[in-house]
Amino acid sequence: MQKNNHNNKPLRKPEWIRIHLPTHNRMANVNNILRENQHITVCEEANCPNRLECYSCGTATFMIMGDVCTRNCRFCNITHGKPKALDASEPKKLAETIVKMKLNYVVITSVDRDDLPDGGANHYVGCIQAIREKNKNIKIEILTPDFEHCLENALTLFSNHLPDVFNHNIETVPRLFKTICPKCDYQISLLLLNEFKKRFPNVLTKSGIMVGLGETDDEITEVLNDLRKNNVDMLTIGQYLQPSRNHIEVDRYITPDEFIAWKKRAIEMGFNYVASGPLVRSSYHAEEQTRIED
């Protein structure tokens, strides 16, 4: 395992992190549809290493409510500032694009919208409704902000149109929260996950953590225990990668064998499904997770 002592240059990526994206007709076709319909996907915005694989499996992750976030997390490459007004036509356009892409599993995420009274929850609901009207059999996962100032309102709105999976990433360990996510709160994230599961016990809940930010193994274990105590069903564990020199540096690269060990430990803790690996991201193999419950 490589570790950064913060006195040297940034760590070089190990071989298991190096990505060689092949060209593929399916990817080209998907990219054309996205451009034509002016949709944002996290897959493209983050240059996700798994996007070809996901597109080929009929999965994509869309980012709604614009590309400007009201928060400024030190790991994230999304622009922060004052977002634009919501596009009321977005849910319908999104549903039409998903039909064109012939997706069977879709993940919807968003920037944080602390400027909105409901944090954007009603817009999520509108997207779920529009998508189901076009395809009743599609699986929908939502990856949401924490709705810090409007949690009760947001949960009430979701009761009208539920997703198949409710995902909210815990991101990192409590000690690093104010450094990595200065405008977020670890306990509020746990509360959101717990309250959603209490109200909608038949909906799968999911969360994810990045490693390589300076956390210890004991701290990772603490987070996994907290997620299970708050009834989270599924888990993703992935390597943090620095988006630019302006973002927090990678502290260490976790080896593939370590990721395998974390997966085994998480399964033993009671998670229904665990994706753990250097290139794992929140929606990696997302469609597999609901198959387990079918």
User: How does residue 71 score in pLDDT terms, banded at 50, 70 and 90?
Assistant: confident
* Domain residue limits, the chain: 22-291
At residue 84, the 3 state secondary structure works out as coil
Q: Taking 70 as the threshold, does the pLDDT of residue 68 lie above it?
A: yes
pLDDT digits 0-9 by tens, 105-122: 899 999 889 899 999 999
What pLDDT is recorded for position 64?
A: 93
Where does the pLDDT of residue 238 fall: very low under 50, low under 70, confident under 90, or very high at 90 and above? very high
- Please give the structure tokens belonging to residue 36: 């034509």
What does the DSSP 8-state code read for residue 171?
A: B
Tell me how far apart the alpha carbons of residues 223 and 172 are, in angstroms, rounded to a whole number.
Answer: 8
CA distance linking residue 249 with residue 241, whole number of Å: 8
- Give start and end residues of each alpha helix (H) in the chain: 25-37, 42-45, 51-56, 90-101, 121-134, 151-158, 177-180, 186-199, 217-229, 256-269, 286-291
Residue type, 109: T
The more confident residue out of 51 and 178 is 178
According to the model, what pLDDT value does residue 82 have?
85
pLDDT band, residue 293 (cuts 50/70/90) = very low
Considering the chain, what is the average pLDDT of its residues?
83
Tens-place pLDDT, residues 216-232: 999 999 999 999 999 99
Assess whether pLDDT exceeds 50 at residue 292.
Answer: no
What average pLDDT does range 37-50 have in this prediction? 55
CATH assignment of 22-291? 3.20.20.70
**Which of 218, 221, 220 minimizes the C-alpha distance to 240?**
220
